[in-house]
Structure 1
């Protein structure tokens, strides 16, 4: 038990393994809007890919969030949608977004910024067709016709079950890579592999990993790469 990782499962069952690959992903924060869950996959999305851009080409879409991911998605969608409404809770777009990105949004004619605003309710019969937005300062309510809302208000990694020896960043994402050789938890005689955690033989891949690109293709690639590192590690034990 001191040499190999031990997993404790539901029902108090335990599994001892020579190697472990963590790919538990994240849980995306849901909008606190009435009927939001009802329209997930039917107008409410947590990523803006080429697929959604194609489906909603020429439509008016709404994007919620004030960070860099939200800004990048807004710029991307503006190249396909007729109009992008960017909804932020505060009044300062520059607070959580890089200056160059905020400036680009302000200079993009078909992106409208709605400050001090939140999505209160979603409407539709099977598919989303409109939302209700409220301004927190004025109390003004606005109904917006749209077939799509993109939520970029953050994600919580599924890592609360891990022990302290698996180091995480300030947001709970798993740290990996050679820099962890300086970690007090690292006991290996070599540097950690690129996707290896602070515990030798424990790897992380995909959205759960710190500094990873939160995209499906990237997660799949990391998973394949991690398998190669697993084989390298198993040669040592």
Structure 2
């Protein structure tokens, strides 16, 4: 059974301005991760409910080239007006039909909290989870929380969008930090990053497709693959 839900805070751009002036405010701006390129220069700020900080255990050494440390402030991402959350409650499949811990439905259930009962764990090696948006969409952003109760980095994170459920044709890669192409999905140029409650927010730049697939290959603490929540924001056709 899940732990009692802890109240989360909606992070807004207005609060970021207050913080910059040294004023305290219970709200913060919506955070973005290390998007593959600069965000759009026009649009509206993307916001979501962010989970509270919860750090447990002792982090393991992270010997990863070009590692980006965990976010400590809240950058912003602008998305087209009319962008909505498309993934909440949508079907999820994976490279493993029966995860080691949890159920694949947790990936789109809307809960981003850390701790037991909030994440799905797949076994070691290359694994993926896939969200079916149930209709084609123009995707503005994908926001990912792997496991943020411990400082760690996930290996070979690749995010792709397609109208083909098998990802054989029409595939758009919007994020790839697999710098040595060990997953055989192409050599990536995005930097690996340390997990935090802010997650990783990737600018999808309007990539079109019905399915969103996320790959990983273990992490710096163990060989397993974890997902707490994935949000897909955009406009359905």
Which structure has the higher relative contact order (CA within 8 Å, separation 6+)? 2
Task: Specify which structure has the higher proportion of helix.
Answer: 1
State which structure, 1 or 2, has the greater radius of gyration over its C-alpha atoms. Answer: 1
Q: Same fold (TM over 0.5)?
A: no
TM-score where L is the length of structure 1 = 0.23
Bigger fraction of residues in strand: 2
TM-score (norm 2): 0.23
